[in-house]
Structure 1
Amino acid sequence: MTKKYKLATSHGDLAVRESSGTDMPVMMIHGNSSMSEVFRNQFEGAIGAKYRLIAADLPGHGESADAIDPDRSYNMPGYADAMTEVLNLLEVTQAAVFGWSLGGHIGLEMIGRYPGVLGIMITGTPPIAAHDLENGFRPSPHMGLAGKRDFTPEDVDAYAHSTCGEPYDAMLHDAVARTDGRAREMMIAKFAAGVGRDQAAIVADPSTPPIAILNGADEPFVNVAFVDTIPVGNLWEGHKLVIDKSGHAPFWDSPERFDPIFDRFLRSLRLK
């Protein structure tokens, strides 16, 4: 049974969900214009029954309030601060992190900010510096929408369908429609301007916690070939992982293949 509640944070009231598991805490961070319900396969399955999954809707997303101070919150360091604050308020001193798309960038920003990171898995996330933005992502209409403030109904539909692929769910549409458009506009603008850490440098550092990089073979937005060239100092299992016949969100389109890998990663980590 998933537990849902609100937390008052310095970024605004955030909607949080927790799974029924009691093993190692795992912070799961969703992507741009999405919400934490996108992880429901994991929350309602064996992963959620075993581990204490924690997922908060980002400020301006899902059932969370819009940011109190958009300039502070609507960027990768701001989101990382918000997710760290959630863990601190819950008195979680150690946790694994899973980040999808924007959530992966946020998770990487948490390294050094939240000292309890035991390991991090990212998917749909190229760990790049701002100057490599064009190399890390493939050009597509979706990428044009990623930083657009005001969506037409057609934009909402297009973004919702492209983000997770199949199976399509109305929840994806509702999440995109609800998102504060300033969150998209400001996040992309600040990322392009170099706000936040050089994420290629973060992953290259051998002193980081273990980092697992997993992508779908049919990833439509991330340049997986470029990601394969990025050095990772503490790469989990020594190689980057690819799930065949999967797209931008393997945890959504292929949970039966994603979950065993995710469980293997979590089992490799230890509370200290």
Structure 2
Amino acid sequence: MARFDLGGFALYYEELGQGRPVVFLHGVCMSGRFFHRQLPYFSAGYRALAPDLRAHGRSTQVPSGHTLPTYARDLRAFLERLALDEVVLVGWSMGCLVIWEYVRQFGTARLAATVLVEQSPSDFKWPDWPLGAFDLAGLTEAMEQLQTDRDAFAHEFISLMFKDPPAEVDRRWMFDEITRPHESIAGAILFDQTLRDYRPVLGSLAVPSLVIMGRDEKLVPVAAGEHLVRHLPDARLLVFEGSGHCPFLEEPDRFNEEVDRFIRSLP
């Protein structure tokens, strides 16, 4: 585990192993701890890293900068500070949005490939995009509950993420991670990330991509992954039949093996 200063606040990250860098990017209100089944596995052949994004997890609770463009600039600083090149970025949920925003701002010069787990190019249900997670009424309700009953919000979020209910011991540590960001921080980034639309960016992701979706559609429909594969320059889709929003936790052995196989197939 390590930290470095990023413009007045500490960014926390876990790092294991040596070799090609594989960077795991977590979802909104989550943390790198969600990849505890991945880092030991990938450390056997890669340099596996999992940062806690700004004010998430064990990073400093800095009150400002909670937009995807800022998170993407933080990611660029992270890659540059650690001199990471030919990187495989593994994004889960909001982590995918951070990747697409990174590509929008900085291109793909440092990237070798991406793994995109359980994310639509937009979480909002636009008139021409029915595959988002929220319409305006749903987003308003979620924002209100986050501010008035964050514990209930966290527990409902956990239930939605899994095809089958997680064990109580897992629910407890997930709840602890989700409730680390202050409510004002969580609300700011939830609102920002929901109203972004990265459909126009997909064609610029000119590196190989593996798209992974869970068959259970409580949060993200498989059709969103099918859209990604149709619009990314070089992508293929894997659907995990026994998973919902967290195939890396629900089917970790298959997830690790498939991602490892994908990385080994790269030039």
TM-score norm. by structure 1 comes to: 0.83
Q: Deviations over 1:54-101 (max 9, x none)?
A: 111111111111225x1xx21111111112211111121331100000
Which of 187, 190, 212 in structure 2 is aligned with 1:188? 190
Partner of 2:245: 248
Query: For residues 36 and 198 of structure 2, what CA distance do their matches in structure 1 show?
Result: 28
Query: For residues 49 and 158 of structure 1, what CA distance do their matches in structure 2 show?
Result: 35
How many residues align structurally?
Answer: 256
Partner of 1:219: 217
Shift of residue 224, structure 1, vs aligned partner: 2.0
Q: Does residue 109 of the first structure (1) align with residue 106 of the second (2)?
A: no
Q: Which amino acid aligns with 2:166?
A: E
Q: Which amino acid aligns with 1:26?
A: V
Q: Does residue 155 of the first structure (1) align with residue 153 of the second (2)?
A: yes
- What SS does the aligned partner of 2:20 have? strand
What is the aligned-residue identity percentage?
Answer: 22
Partner of 1:121: 115
Partner of 1:62: 57
Query: For residues 91 and 83 of structure 2, what CA distance do their matches in structure 1 show?
Result: 20
Q: Which amino acid aligns with 2:183?
A: G
Partner of 1:23: 19
Shift of residue 109, structure 1, vs aligned partner: 1.5
Q: Does residue 49 of the first structure (1) align with residue 44 of the second (2)?
A: yes
Q: Does residue 7 of the first structure (1) align with residue 9 of the second (2)?
A: no
Shift of residue 184, structure 1, vs aligned partner: 2.7
Query: For residues 79 and 217 of structure 1, what CA distance do their matches in structure 2 show?
Result: 29
Partner of 1:232: 231
Q: Which runs of 4+ in 1 moved over 6 A?
A: 140-143
Shift of residue 131, structure 1, vs aligned partner: 6.4
Q: Which structure 2 residue ranges, 5 or more long, are not aligned?
A: none
Which of 64, 82, 93 in structure 2 is aligned with 1:90? 82
Query: For residues 199 and 29 of structure 1, what CA distance do their matches in structure 2 show?
Result: 17
- Alignment RMSD: 2.7
Shift of residue 117, structure 1, vs aligned partner: 1.2
Asked whether the 8 Å contact 2:124–2:132 carries over to 1, the reply is: no
Q: Which structure 1 residue ranges, 5 or more long, are not aligned?
A: none
Which of 176, 179, 191 in structure 2 is aligned with 1:177? 179
